[in-house]
């Protein structure tokens, strides 16, 4: 495994931890945690493993669901080096382009669902979604319907951490500290979370009910006021919520009937995770706009994209006016080169097909063996995106109170056995790199079984 040969400026690990604690403000981190203990410093990674401080861990989260190609690919390092030497940077404002951005835009249009041909580049998933919020407002104004401003979003949604995207998030606790108005131009509907909300309904019955809640909301707000719905095909951050099969096609039918745009936030699902290039193919629906980030470059460099259907692009680009939006590093030539090579590698190595034909079914079948465990309510997966839902009572689907932190305890017990998974509420989420193998999946299931046993025994003893 590759490690940095020496620490910067001959500093020791302790020096770096002290610098970090003093000066580095971490995202989504309780500062108190860093007061209690130093940060874990990761300094090497290869394949499906990360390492640091003498510890090697199997990363079944691929970072934050992003290092799809696996860590340490020398092809991408070489591509970045070559691209940086050729053109380290130039902007893409005012009708200037660069070869790799132009080629990447073309490649994405080729891969994307039919009719999605126009690409706007940004640097993160949040920026791509923020871009779409502005695109949508611009679109409806140009269409002469400026009242169409309300965005529908769902319980448990996560669309980013800029101010505007934060307002779309389902977890109200993410909004409150900033005094964000949770209602202004935003309408919230239920998530297609059959296990939690389905009650006695079959998944299909519940799929229709959850979709109907969108139509009800459109009618309540007035279709003339509703601009779009934002949706993650699988809601990841809040627990790998996989909708019933009929839900997304029904949402599409409803949105078409009321002239409401569909934005597929494919920041996690895009570029192969569900066994198709895009989750729209997996779940049988078509969006008007989709966003990509994470897996676009396998997070080797920051780059994201908003991809528009022709019907949207024609309106946005019609006339002489300017879409007043963009970032200094939009369409960065080095990031674009890396994303292009990343897509080529996924393609050449047939990694997406392999998820559909082999890894996905293997992953689901193996994880499903955990469903008999007394702590597990449901195991669900699509491709290489899985959630293990914990339950206090398997019959009634009663949850443990979140304050009990049962899921965190299970993920900690897995971590000390060498496995990274993510605790999301009462769900253990797995989002491994596409190069994971059967033996690593077997190890994951063994370790999770042990971790669940340990925590269950502790609960019984308490």
Q: Which residue of 63, 70, 160, 192 would you call a contact of ligand PLP, by CB under 6 A?
A: 160
Is residue 236 a contact point for ligand PLP (CB under 6 A)? yes
Using CB under 6 A, pick the residue from 190, 215, 232, 440 that binds ligand PLP.
232
Q: CB under 8 Å to 109, separation ≥6 — which residues?
A: 116, 117, 118, 119, 307
- Does 158 participate in binding ligand PLP (rule CB under 6 A)? yes
Can you list the alpha helix ranges (DSSP code H) found in 115-202?
Answer: 125-142, 163-166, 194-197
Comparing CA positions, the residue from 306, 332, 395 lying closest to residue 92 is 332
Query: Which residue among 68, 92, 124, 329 contacts ligand PLP (CB under 6 A)?
Result: 124
Residue 409 and residue 402 in contact, taking contact as beta carbons nearer than 8 Å: no
Q: Please report how close the Cβ of residue 111 comes to ligand PLP at its closest, in angstroms.
A: 19
419-448 positions binding ligand PLP, by CB under 6 A: none
Q: Which is nearer to ligand PLP, 213 or 235 (CB)?
A: 235
CA Rg, the chain, in Å?
Answer: 22
Q: Please give the structure tokens belonging to residue 348.
A: 């050449």
Burial tier of 441 (Cβ tally within 10 Å: 0-12, 13-18, 19+) = buried
Residue nearest to ligand PLP (CB): 125
Q: How many residues bind ligand PLP (CB under 6 A)?
A: 15
Q: Find the binder of ligand PLP among 63, 70, 125, 333 (CB under 6 A).
A: 125
Q: Which of 155, 215, 265, 389 binds ligand PLP (CB under 6 A)?
A: 265
The 3-state secondary structure of 362-431, one letter per residue:
HHHHHHHHHHHCCCEEEEEEECCEEEEEECCECCCCECCCHHHCHHHHHHHHHHCCCEECEEECCEEEEC
Helix, strand, coil percentages (3-state) for the chain, rounded to 5, are: 45, 15, 40
Q: Which residues ranging from 266 to 305 are in contact with ligand PLP (CB under 6 A)?
A: 267-268, 293
Q: Does 76 bind ligand PLP (CB under 6 A)?
A: no
What are phi and psi for residue 181, nearest 5 degrees?
-75, 110
Given the rule CB under 6 A, which of 10-18, 153-161, 199-207, 368-376 is the region that contacts ligand PLP?
153-161
Q: Which position among 149, 159, 309, 380 is part of the footprint of ligand PLP (CB under 6 A)?
A: 159
Q: How far is the CB of 269 from ligand PLP (least distance, A)?
A: 8
x-or-dash string of contact with ligand PLP, 43-72, rule CB under 6 A = ---------------------x--------
Tell which one of 17, 79, 100, 126 touches ligand PLP (CB under 6 A).
126
Task: List residues bridging with 49 in a β-sheet.
Answer: 46, 58
CA distance 78 to 76: 5
- Contact footprint for ligand PLP (CB under 6 A): 64, 124-126, 129, 158-160, 232, 236-237, 265, 267-268, 293
């Amino acid at each position: 495994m590759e490690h940095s040969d020496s620490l910067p400026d001959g500093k020791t690990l302790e020096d770096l931890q002290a610098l970090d604690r003093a000066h580095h403000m971490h995202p989504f981190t309780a500062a108190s945690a860093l007061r209690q203990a130093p940060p874990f410093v990761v300094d090497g990674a290869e394949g499906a493993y990360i390492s640091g401080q003498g510890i090697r861990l199997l990363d079944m989260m691929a970072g934050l669901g992003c290092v799809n190609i696996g860590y340490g690919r020398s092809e991408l390092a070489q591509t970045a080096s070559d691209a940086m030497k050729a053109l380290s940077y130039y902007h893409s404002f005012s009708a200037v382009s660069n070869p790799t951005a132009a080629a990447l835009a073309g490649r994405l249009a080729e891969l994307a669902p039919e009719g999605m041909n126009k690409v706007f580049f940004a640097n993160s998933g949040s920026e791509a979604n923020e871009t779409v919020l502005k695109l949508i407002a611009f679109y409806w104004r140009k269409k002469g319907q400026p009242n169409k401003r309300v965005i529908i979003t769902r319980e448990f949604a996560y669309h980013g951490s800029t101010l505007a995207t934060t307002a779309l998030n389902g977890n109200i606790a993410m909004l409150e500290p900033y005094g964000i108005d949770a209602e202004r131009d935003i309408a919230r509907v239920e998530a297609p979370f059959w296990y939690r909300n389905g009650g006695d309904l079959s998944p299909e019955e519940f799929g229709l009910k959850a979709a109907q809640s969108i139509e009800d909301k459109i009618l309540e707000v007035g279709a003339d006021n509703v601009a779009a719905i934002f949706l993650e095909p699988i809601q990841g951050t809040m627990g790998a919520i996989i909708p019933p099969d009929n839900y997304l096609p029904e949402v599409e039918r409803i949105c078409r009937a009321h002239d409401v745009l569909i934005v597929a936030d494919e920041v996690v699902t895009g570029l192969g995770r569900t066994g198709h290039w895009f989750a729209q193919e997996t779940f049988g629906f078509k969006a008007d706009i989709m966003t990509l980030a994470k897996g676009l470059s396998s997070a080797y460099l920051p780059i994201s994209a908003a991809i528009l259907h022709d019907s949207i692009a024609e309106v946005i680009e019609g006339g002489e006016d300017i879409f007043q939006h963009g970032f200094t590093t939009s369409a960065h030539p080095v990031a674009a080169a890396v994303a292009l090579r990343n897509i080529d590698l996924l393609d050449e190595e047939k990694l997406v097909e392999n998820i559909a034909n082999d890894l996905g079914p293997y992953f689901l079948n193996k994880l499903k063996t955990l469903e008999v465990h007394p702590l597990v309510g449901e195991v669900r997966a699509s491709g290489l995106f899985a959630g293990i839902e914990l339950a206090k009572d398997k019959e009634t689907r009663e949850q443990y109170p979140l304050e009990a932190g049962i899921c965190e305890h299970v993920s900690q017990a897995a971590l000390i056995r060498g496995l990274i998974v993510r605790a999301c509420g009462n769900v253990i989420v797995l989002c491994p790199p596409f190069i994971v193998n059967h033996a690593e999946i077997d190890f994951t299931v063994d370790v999770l079984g042990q971790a669940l046993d340990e925590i269950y025994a502790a609960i019984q003893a308490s």
